[in-house]
Structure 1
Amino acid sequence: MPEDIDEETALLSKRGSKSRTPLPTFQLSVIMLIQICEPIASQSIYPYINQLVSELDITGGDEKKVGYYACESLFFLTEAMTVLQWSRASDHFGRKPILLIGLFGTGLSIFCFGLSRTFWALVASRCLCGLLSGNIGVMKSAVGDLTDRTNRADAFSYIPIVWAIGASLGPLAGGALARPHDRFPEIFSGTFWRDFPYLLPCIATGSFVFLSCYVVLIFFKETAPSGNQKSWVQARDEDEGIMQKDHKCTGPLPLRALLLFPVIISISNYAALAFLSTTLACLLPLFLAMKIEIGGLGLPPPAIGFILSAYGLTTGLFQFLFSARLVRRFGEKRVFATGMIACLPVFVLLPIMSMIARRSGLTIVIWALVGCVLVLGAILDTSFVAIFVFITASAPKSSRGTVNGLSQTYAALARAIAPALSTSLFSLSVQHNLLGGYFIYFVFLVISGLSLVLAESLPDQVWDDFE
């Protein structure tokens, strides 16, 4: 272990880095509490969302059409409409008030989701969550405020770890607490729980979000630069391919001044990564839930919740053990590209599992391949650490919220498109037997290949921070 640390230090020195600055542990812990709220609240619905849509009788009894009506896209679509405004507001008014508004909106919306008894009520609750949630961009801006080039990869490595924990706890709660009158009739026997069969997991996750809101209110200290801080307007030197300082201005920069090559290429790659990771996150539970004869594995919600929890656990362990070290050792670009490559075998293994299940049922080979998909998903998530470093380094300190908000806008659009496209393509493929029902996987193989081409546009080394 000491030899590994010495080798990492030498590599940091070769890349022009100083010794690592200690992380502000307590403040980062509060930020990570904010981070864990979104996956717990949003992904707790995944184990039962397809069953809920079926029970609302929107599909007319045709289970092949469930994918058309899955409403995961709504949060990201509405988030894309407002996240830039919330993030720009954090540059002017501070990170803390925006984070509190986002937490409150998340908690309120998940309670509304559990009380929904019509499809349009579900739509309204998911839209409310997206409109009021500006936390993702603001939270990453706060992490950037608290770190520098020497320790930023370490700090950002906690984001996918904490997300993975939330992605593990959320589906586990959703799968275990859904329809409590069926699973725990001795406790939840009243007609209320029959009328609102999915309220209990919403109560559990919503209460956690409101508790987190209180912790942030009491303990979080403002991290945004003061409003009168001077910033450099940046320009790109076309000959050298690097950033140059131009002239000073006071406070956050206008949006147009930020639309430069480092910002644009970082955001583009982040959007591609968000699209593919969200596709996997939404396609996997749908694949697990659909009957074997129509291209899935036909698993019940508790089993799906367990698998998704295992996915979160696998991702979290991988990030904790390897992500920051991999970035320091191999550089941000190589780590990012390697993660993107992991998408390719995922979209090969899913149709293979379907073919095996149709022929032999749920054999041990199926479960082994599910494990392989989980590991590949963990490798994919390592790319987030690398791209967060690229985005943060491309932004002036006084406009970090704006750049993160802009990146989150395009990532949210990608995440809005991904569920609708993936679930609709799944239904379209099996309904019309396109490529034997596996047309969807061919489409995403092509998209994964194109994303690798885009990743090559990133520089070999991250540009230096700008004031």
Structure 2
Amino acid sequence: MTVNSVSHGAAHEEATERTPLFRGLASVAEDSEPNGNEPVKKPLDKVQMFLLCYARMMEPIAYFAIFPFIAEMVERNGHLPESDIGFYSGLIESLFSAIQMFVLIFWGRLSDIVGRKPVLIYSMVGMSITPVLFCMSTTLWQMIMFRCIAGVFSGSNLVIRTMVSENSTPETQARAFSWFSFGGNIGLVLGPILGGVLANPVKQYPNIFKGIEFFEKYPYALPGFITGGICATGVVVCGLYLKETLVKDEKPIINSSGELVQQPEARMSMSQIIKSPGVAFVLWLYSHVMLLAFLFTAIMPVDLYTSVELGGIGLTTNQISLWMTVQGISQATWLVLAFPLLHRRFGNKGVLNLCSIAYPVFFALFIVLNALLRNGSPSATAWFYILGAISAIIGPGVSMSFTGVQLALNEVTPSHRVLGTLNAIALTGASAIRSLAPGVATAVYAIGVRNQILGGQLAWAILIPIACIFTVGSRWLPDNKRPQSSDDNTEDEDA
């Protein structure tokens, strides 16, 4: 029994050294039994997770709600020729990500100093106001200005990530982040729906709104009010019920013998954080996964619409909508149901390795689908439907890599006191990629289609090797222990 106790203590100490984040959160994530010998695992707080997932929905709702009417709004407010609409629409979206890139470090640092909850509330208040201001813009410059201000207040995502980490333990973090990702997916689906259904109500619903001067003057105000109101509900519920997770004002810990056990941690600079063991590599891996996601998201809708003769799939608008809906539902299912099970069975590195193998295959499927449609024979058409279903239903499983790299980031965090800053560094890189990658990806796709380079498959031919870099890189992640189940613990005790 004594040998077992020593071995358990050594194992716990070794795991703590490898995962500093959970050492710092020991007082939050674990309680002690009356005898003080063995920590009691703390279950996931479902109320706090629900609040964080609800807050997670807000940013994609506010961000994506303008997508259905942004081009029409630019044309109306800017009095532009049709040829210039795409440029200014893209400029407005790129500016959001560019501004976000410069402010995330500030939000992350601030959350490490004053606390997670106040920074989240500040960010969500701004998120509640800016959609209203943007949607009531009457000039192009107002649209640009208010979208930039929206970028300034886009820090909620990184704070929520940090709070999810601090609310979970090694045993519950996979489930916690799968629900975090699910909340983001719900917001991504709801945002465009709200924008499309509510924009220009006088034109869409003349029986109800015709003659209302306000909506005739401000045709896009309604989606702004609704999205702003939804974000405001997040401010209220989080303000009332969300608990602070940052452990502040740490004091020296002295045991019963009067010996100093733990001193307060000194605050680390960004340079020190990045130079900590494993951090730079995981930041690169995180950025690479985000690059794959943004490139694919930009190329896929264009490829689905492009005619078969030019290298695309040639779907109608309704078919594209159906395809993307199935893909969205599938992605949510993979994240909520499959990821926790696979994470428990294979560990985080194992899940990332599976995703890294699937990425090149997933991208290559779009080349195969076009080849089958070009062939046009009955057997080729049958295979198109089979592989198309695989692409739309199984392919989105690669989205588990988004949660996987977040958990990898948690694993290498040198201290819980800088977790907000580390998340900010990672998301700053992602924002920089999002501001540039979509425009480059669609330009390359257009060049390939226009000049029929590789039969219009130039973009996919470039994307596949980029995905293979992730396949190689994921192998270099440090080995991690999969979370122990009760059965595992029983076996250890027997040993």
Structure 2 Cα separation of the partners of residues 459 and 187 of structure 1 = 60
Residues 61-100 of structure 1: CA deviation (Å, up to 9, x unaligned): 4599669936443332221111111111111100011101
| Counterpart position of 1:275 | 291
Cα deviation for residue 299 of structure 1 reads 4.3
Please state if 1:324 is matched with 2:345: no
Please state if 1:398 is matched with 2:420: no
Structure 2 Cα separation of the partners of residues 227 and 299 of structure 1 = 59
After superposition, the Cα gap between the structure-2 partners of 1:65 and 1:146, relative to the gap in structure 1 and judged at 3 Å, is: closer
Matches for 1:363-378 after TM superposition, within 5 Å? 371-376=389-394, 378=396
Structure 2 Cα separation of the partners of residues 401 and 172 of structure 1 = 32
After superposition, the Cα gap between the structure-2 partners of 1:353 and 1:193, relative to the gap in structure 1 and judged at 3 Å, is: farther
Please state if 1:389 is matched with 2:407: yes
Please state if 1:36 is matched with 2:63: no
Structure 1 segments unaligned to the other structure (5+ residues): 1-12, 232-246
SS at match of 2:476: coil
Structure 1 Cα separation of the partners of residues 202 and 453 of structure 2 = 40
State the one-letter code of the partner of 1:209: C
Larger Cα Rg: Structure 1 or Structure 2? 2
Matches for 1:132-143 after TM superposition, within 5 Å? 132-143=153-164
Structure 2 Cα separation of the partners of residues 63 and 125 of structure 1 = 20
Structure 1 Cα separation of the partners of residues 324 and 308 of structure 2 = 19
Cα deviation for residue 368 of structure 1 reads 6.5
Contact 1:73 1:416 in 2 (8 A): yes
Matches for 1:242-321 after TM superposition, within 5 Å? 250-259=265-274, 260-288=276-304, 295=312, 297=314, 299-300=316-317, 307-321=323-337
Higher deviation after alignment, 122-131 or 99-108? 122-131
SS at match of 2:208: coil
After superposition, the Cα gap between the structure-2 partners of 1:293 and 1:37, relative to the gap in structure 1 and judged at 3 Å, is: farther
Cα deviation for residue 46 of structure 1 reads 3.6
| Counterpart position of 1:93 | 114
After superposition, the Cα gap between the structure-2 partners of 1:462 and 1:66, relative to the gap in structure 1 and judged at 3 Å, is: farther
| Counterpart position of 1:452 | 471
Contact 1:103 1:213 in 2 (8 A): yes
Residues 223-270 of structure 1: CA deviation (Å, up to 9, x unaligned): 101133579xxxxxxxxxxxxxxx965453222221223211221111
Structure 2 Cα separation of the partners of residues 64 and 354 of structure 1 = 30
What value does the CA root-mean-square deviation take over the aligned residues?
3.7
Please state if 1:422 is matched with 2:444: no
Higher deviation after alignment, 220-229 or 149-158? 220-229
Contact 1:67 1:424 in 2 (8 A): no
TM-score (norm 2): 0.76
Structure 1 Cα separation of the partners of residues 264 and 157 of structure 2 = 27
TM-score (norm 1): 0.80
Residues 149-169 of structure 1: CA deviation (Å, up to 9, x unaligned): 121112111111111222222
Structure 1 Cα separation of the partners of residues 388 and 138 of structure 2 = 34
Cα deviation for residue 397 of structure 1 reads 1.4
| Counterpart position of 1:440 | 459
Please state if 1:228 is matched with 2:243: no
For this pair of structures, how many residues does the alignment match?
434
After superposition, the Cα gap between the structure-2 partners of 1:214 and 1:369, relative to the gap in structure 1 and judged at 3 Å, is: farther
Residues 98-127 of structure 1: CA deviation (Å, up to 9, x unaligned): 101211222222223323455544433332
Matches for 1:143-182 after TM superposition, within 5 Å? 143-182=164-203
Contact 2:250 2:264 in 1 (8 A): no
- Percent of pairs with identical residues: 25
Contact 2:101 2:432 in 1 (8 A): yes
Structure 1 Cα separation of the partners of residues 163 and 69 of structure 2 = 34
After superposition, the Cα gap between the structure-2 partners of 1:189 and 1:434, relative to the gap in structure 1 and judged at 3 Å, is: farther
Residues 117-153 of structure 1: CA deviation (Å, up to 9, x unaligned): 5554443333222221112221111112112212111
SS at match of 1:223: coil
Structure 1 Cα separation of the partners of residues 455 and 88 of structure 2 = 18
Contact 1:171 1:309 in 2 (8 A): no
After superposition, the Cα gap between the structure-2 partners of 1:358 and 1:380, relative to the gap in structure 1 and judged at 3 Å, is: same
Higher deviation after alignment, 203-212 or 424-433? 424-433
| Counterpart position of 2:223 | 201
Structure 1 Cα separation of the partners of residues 438 and 284 of structure 2 = 19
Matches for 1:46-61 after TM superposition, within 5 Å? 46-49=67-70, 60-61=81-82
Residues 396-440 of structure 1: CA deviation (Å, up to 9, x unaligned): 112111111112211222222222222332334344444443322
Picking from 37, 45, 50, the partner of 1:24 is 45
Structure 1 Cα separation of the partners of residues 73 and 374 of structure 2 = 26
Higher deviation after alignment, 346-355 or 98-107? 346-355
Structure 2 Cα separation of the partners of residues 207 and 365 of structure 1 = 47
Cα deviation for residue 22 of structure 1 reads 0.7
| Counterpart position of 2:356 | 340
Cα deviation for residue 213 of structure 1 reads 1.0
Structure 2 Cα separation of the partners of residues 63 and 293 of structure 1 = 27
Structure 2 Cα separation of the partners of residues 171 and 44 of structure 1 = 5
Structure 2 Cα separation of the partners of residues 348 and 109 of structure 1 = 40
State the one-letter code of the partner of 1:188: F
State the one-letter code of the partner of 1:416: S
| Counterpart position of 1:407 | 426
Structure 2 segments unaligned to the other structure (5+ residues): 1-11, 17-38, 254-261, 484-495
| Counterpart position of 2:144 | 123
SS at match of 2:53: helix
Please state if 1:78 is matched with 2:78: no
